[in-house]
Amino acid sequence: GAGVSQTPSNKVTEKGKYVELRCDPISGHTALYWYRQSLGQGPEFLIYFQGTGAADDSGLPNDRFFAVRPEGSVSTLKIQRTERGDSAVYLCASSFGDGELFFGEGSRLTVL
Amino acid sequence: AQSVTQLDSQVPVFEEAPVELRCNYSSSVSVYLFWYVQYPNQGLQLLLKYLSGSTLVESINGFEAEFNKSQTSFHLRKPSVHISDTAEYFCAVRRVNDYKLSFGAGTTVTVRA
């Protein structure tokens, strides 16, 4: 389809492991966002890319979290030394400039 | 910083009855306002938005929301709901000239026959 694609849809891992979550935005969208949605809460901003660079990473909770977008398209959110509190649904969205955000279905991360 | 409060976490409603989902926000600067909907097993979708102009905005599936600046509210209404409106609804704000959305905690609407 032509929407935002996120993989994996579900990821179960053990505490302390490393995890990568992938986002494939809508073709041609210059802006890409990561949000995190914990149980019972609304999505919270993590990081924003305009092109290849992270224009704003102020929402990343700590230095265990990192995201890249090397070619200005696909983005990977990387979490090191996962903790149980990292369990959430990680949402990716893309937009053309500052237009409407289109969200993917999310990657549900469970840390045991 | 801005914040969003959705006053109801769960709203059960019978089919063909009206529904209102309440949203209040706080911000020291001008904001844009949005309602997003998340149907079961789907991603967030934009339902409607207020950027400027008429304070009453409508969606294509019968929802409407009214921006009330004095009460800092953006309540969502539908006069007659369908089973297919069962979903989670999120109110969100974004400062003008910013890109970050701040979301409320969401309201789960369950429509029963």
Model pLDDT for residues B5-61, shown as the tens digit of each residue: 999 999 999 999 999 999 999 998 899 999 999 998 888 999 999 998 889 999 989
A window 29-88, beta carbon within 8 A of B: 31, 33, 35, 40-45, 48, 56, 59
B51 CB within 8 Å of a chain A CB: no
Q: Flag if B103 and A42 touch (Cβ within 8 Å).
A: yes
Q: Determine contact: B104 vs chain A, CB below 8 A.
A: yes
Q: What is the mean pLDDT of residues A46-57?
A: 91
- The mean pLDDT of A56-66, rounded to a whole number, is 95
Quick check: A98 and B99 CB within 8 A? yes
pLDDT, tens digit, 9 for 90 and up, residues A2-43: 899 999 999 999 999 999 999 999 999 999 999 999 998 999
B105 to A44: CB separation less than 8 angstroms, yes or no? no
- Report pLDDT digits (tens) over A68-110: 999 989 999 999 999 999 999 999 999 987 788 999 999 999 9
Going by C-alpha positions, the residue among A5, A35, A103 that lies closest to residue B103 is: A35
* CB contacts, 8 Å: A40 with chain B: 9, 105
Asked whether residue B71 carries a pLDDT value surpassing 80, the answer given is yes
> For residue A46, is pLDDT > 70?
yes
CA–CA separation, B87 vs A40, rounded Å? Answer: 14
User: Is there a cis peptide before residue B40, judged by omega within 30 degrees of 0?
Assistant: no
Place of tokens 């309540």: B75
Distance CA(A50)–CA(A95), nearest Å, equals 10
pLDDT on residue A1: 54
Residue A52 is predicted with a pLDDT of 87
Q: Residue A62 gets which letter from DSSP?
A: S
d(CA A11, CA A101): 24
Query: Which of B43, B46, B105 lies nearest to residue A42, judging by beta carbons?
Result: B105
C-alpha B99: how far from its chain's center? 18
CA separation for the pair A70, A62 (Å, rounded): 21
pLDDT value for A98? 75
- Is residue B3 within 8 A of residue B33, CB to CB? The reply is no
* Amino acid B10: pLDDT: 96
Cβ of residue A25 closer than 8 Å to a chain B Cβ: no
Whether A101 and B41 lie within 8 Å, measured CB to CB: no
A52: left (phi over 0), alpha (psi -120 to 50) or beta: alpha
